[in-house]
Amino acid sequence: MIEILSASALATVQDLGRTGALRWGVGTSGAMDPLALAAGNILLGNDEGAAAIEVPVFPFQVRFAQDCAFAITGADVAARLDDEALLPWWSAPARAGQVLQLGLPQPGPWRASRAYLCVAGGVDVPPALGSRSTQLRGAFGGHEGRALRQGDSLRVGSTNGEQRTTGIGLVPPALALPLHVDDLPAIRVLPAAEYANYSEASRAAFWSEPWKITAQSDRYGYRLSGTPLEAVSALEMRSHGIVPGVIQVPPGGQPIVQMRDAQPSGGYPKLGTVIEADLWRLGQAPIGSRVRFVETNWDDAVAALAQTRRWLDEVRRLVELHRGSR
Amino acid sequence: MTIARASISVLGTSALLFEAPGEMALESQQRIWALAREAQGWPEVREAVPGMNNLMLSFASAPRTLGDLEARLHAAWLVAKPLPLEGRVVELPVVYGGTGGPHMGDVVAHTGMSIDEIVERHSAPLYPVYALGSHPGYCYLGGMDPRIATPRRKVPVVSIPGGAVSIGGAQTGVSASAGPSGWNTIGSTSMHFFDPAQDPPALLRPGDSIRFRVEKVIR
């Protein structure tokens, strides 16, 4: 068991998301930084999609009620196990009774806002509709369908008695797969159906100006602030399926990027979609920070997805090499 | 005779959106259901999700090129026959206006009708469930009287409660749980639309129908 000691809100149990339930109105949920979740699981010898704790507010403390290998990925949160400082993107063993503290995200070579606490065997909450991710709107999945609270205890999944190697770390994807424009994190976007309905000046501004992530941003969506986007004509759309990454533009002209807890359908006009391969970059961008959008095309977007897949495959190969050498 | 061509666009590398041409009507929606049933069997498709006169195909993995899939979709649409789904009718008692219908005034202002006229027109039809979406168990309904159509709100409301009956553009619906919405809430009802432990988890499915019964009108 892992016991939650912090009263800080908004930490949730997430895996790689819920697929196949869109037809009942159920969105995907899942980790805002799926690369960090998958890599943390690979470090521990888990399936890539094992459930972990996503932590967006710090400090955050847990007590291990059992011996347990764990890994922390995502933001560098100056983690400490009792008094011992831990490296980011690293796996370590905990003994029963030890307390793990995640501190504030550190300024450094990469800036991120969410940490993932992965455990060997995964966080063992009951799957709901095929996933362990928390469905906040539907109040199911994850731990009792809600964010974690002080005093909650989470079961750790079985590793079938298998010892999991620890003491392995990774270079984070923010450094291994960097993408910047004018020193700001860059996010690639494929234009969507209503792209042409925005004025030429607005389209140019979307690609050339920085966009600030406002305080009204969360797992549901990122509300951005910048020069308002002007529609050539007001469109009243029919409701249709949407996915995380879709950039909707309400009539006020300030775009909203749909994130992992987004509704599976909507009706606001769509300027574009953040490509699947870059959703983690936006998911890690802190509130108040600025990002740039870069236009891409289908071939490059598919190639980017293959590139993140290759990175994960390489991580798995290195971890298995290390394990084999022990 | 000319046939308006459907439009196909991408939603990143995660999905593709097919939008049928023409007006929203039950017969066209029945063809969308037929197209969804067909496309669900295609290897690229993880899930075929009907919307309002449109269909989203989420990808199992992003195809290298889209041309073949787009051509198959256009061809399948041209031969899609309306799929008649005859489901059950669920009656929902609604309290219109008052604190449960905070945007009734906006619908009055936009349509120029009285509250009573709006209630009469909203509660008259039998609304077929066209599609599910938005949030777990939520139903998109067809058949609203176009005279009470009211544009979505300029800024979405942070949270409306479960059971909120609302109008967005030419559509109406009932929220299944509390959450943000860009629609105009004109009344409230109470009903459990979703239970993840059930199979299927949603109370209603495309082809079922909803009737709104006027329980009370607060003017």
Q: How many CB atoms lie within 10 A of CB A324?
A: 8
Which pLDDT score, from 0 to 100, does residue B157 have?
87
Contact A54/A31 with Cβ under 8 angstroms? Answer: yes
Chain A, nearest residue to B36 by Cα: A23
Contact B125/B171 with Cβ under 8 angstroms? Answer: no
Are B51 and A19 a contacting pair at CB < 8 A? no
Mean pLDDT (chain A) is 95
Chain A, nearest residue to B60 by Cα: A19
Within 8 A of B49 by CB-CB distance, chain A residues are: 22-23, 241, 264-265
Q: Which of A256, A253, A188 is nearest to A222 (CA)?
A: A256
Which pLDDT score, from 0 to 100, does residue B1 have?
42
Which pLDDT score, from 0 to 100, does residue B22 have?
87
Q: Does B85 touch chain A (CB under 8 A)?
A: no
Which pLDDT score, from 0 to 100, does residue A185 have?
96
Per-residue pLDDT at A195 exceeds 90: yes
Are B133 and A243 a contacting pair at CB < 8 A? no
Q: How far apart are CA A51 and CA A38, in angstroms?
A: 9
Average pLDDT over residues A228-244: 91
Q: What angle do CA B35, B38, B39 make, to 5 degrees?
A: 85
Are B133 and A239 a contacting pair at CB < 8 A? yes
Tokens in use for A246? 């879709």
To the nearest whole percent, how much of chain A has pLDDT over 70? 100
Instruction: Please give, rounded to a whole number of angstroms, the shortest distance from the CA of B131 to a CA of chain A.
Output: 8
- Of the candidates A24, A250, A305, the beta carbon closest to that of B201 is on A24
Instruction: Please give, rounded to a whole number of angstroms, the shortest distance from the CA of B71 to a CA of chain A.
Output: 17
Per-residue pLDDT at B66 exceeds 70: yes
Q: How far apart are CA A283 and CA A294, in angstroms?
A: 16
**Which residues on adjacent β-strands are paired with residue B127?**
B210
Higher pLDDT, A238 or A131: A131
Q: How far apart are CA A267 and CA B128, in angstroms?
A: 19
- Of the candidates A20, A137, A305, the beta carbon closest to that of B47 is on A20
Which pLDDT score, from 0 to 100, does residue A326 have?
62
Q: In what order do the strands lie in the sheet with A84-85?
A: A84-85, A80-81, A99-102, A60-64, A2-4, A153-154
DSSP secondary structure of B54-99: EEEEEESS--S-SHHHHHHHHHHHHHPPP------EEEEEEEEEGG
ipTM > 0.85 (yes/no): yes
- How far CA B130 is from CA of A41, A66, B9, B30, in Å, comes to 40, 50, 21, 8
| Fold for the domain defined by B7-79 | Gyrase A; domain 2 (3.30.1360)
Within 8 A of A236 by CB-CB distance, chain B residues are: 151-152, 169-170
Average pLDDT over residues B153-168: 90
Are A243 and B9 a contacting pair at CB < 8 A? no
Within 8 A of A269 by CB-CB distance, chain B residues are: none
Which pLDDT score, from 0 to 100, does residue B162 have?
93
Which pLDDT score, from 0 to 100, does residue B154 have?
84
Per-residue pLDDT at A9 exceeds 80: no
User: Per-residue pLDDT tens for B86-103?
Assistant: 899 999 999 999 999 999
Are B17 and A240 a contacting pair at CB < 8 A? yes
Which pLDDT score, from 0 to 100, does residue A107 have?
87
- Of the candidates A137, A193, A273, the beta carbon closest to that of B135 is on A137
Phi, psi of B73 (to 5 degrees): -65, -50
Which pLDDT score, from 0 to 100, does residue B3 have?
61
Which pLDDT score, from 0 to 100, does residue B86 have?
86
User: Per-residue pLDDT tens for B106-131?
Assistant: 999 999 999 999 999 999 999 999 99
Within 8 A of B138 by CB-CB distance, chain A residues are: 25
Secondary structure element (H or E) that encloses residue A300, with its range: helix A298-324
Higher pLDDT, A63 or A266: A63
What is the reported pTM? 0.93
3-class SS at A150? coil
Average pLDDT over residues A163-177: 90
Instruction: Please give, rounded to a whole number of angstroms, the shortest distance from the CA of B196 to a CA of chain A.
Output: 7
Are A241 and B49 a contacting pair at CB < 8 A? yes
Q: Does B180 touch chain A (CB under 8 A)?
A: yes
**pLDDT band at residue B21 under the 50/70/90 scheme:** very high
Domain ranges of chain B: 7-79, 89-218
Superfamily name and number for B89-218:
Cyclophilin-like (2.40.100.10)
> Which residue of A135, A239, A271, A308 to mutate against B (max B Cβ within 10 Å)?
A239
Instruction: Please give, rounded to a whole number of angstroms, the shortest distance from the CA of A41 to a CA of chain B.
Output: 21
Per-residue pLDDT at A8 exceeds 80: no
3-class SS at B160? strand
Are B196 and A140 a contacting pair at CB < 8 A? yes
Direct distance between the N- and C-terminal alpha carbons of chain A, in angstroms, rounded to an integer: 28
Q: How far apart are CA B187 and CA B174, in angstroms?
A: 9
- Of the candidates A19, A265, A274, the beta carbon closest to that of B12 is on A274
Are B14 and A276 a contacting pair at CB < 8 A? yes
Chain A, nearest residue to B197 by Cα: A128
3-class SS at B107? helix
Instruction: Please give, rounded to a whole number of angstroms, the shortest distance from the CA of A283 to a CA of chain B.
Output: 16
* Structural domains of chain A, with CATH: 2-173 (no CATH), 180-295 (2.40.100.10)
Higher pLDDT, A73 or A108: A73
Which pLDDT score, from 0 to 100, does residue B174 have?
94
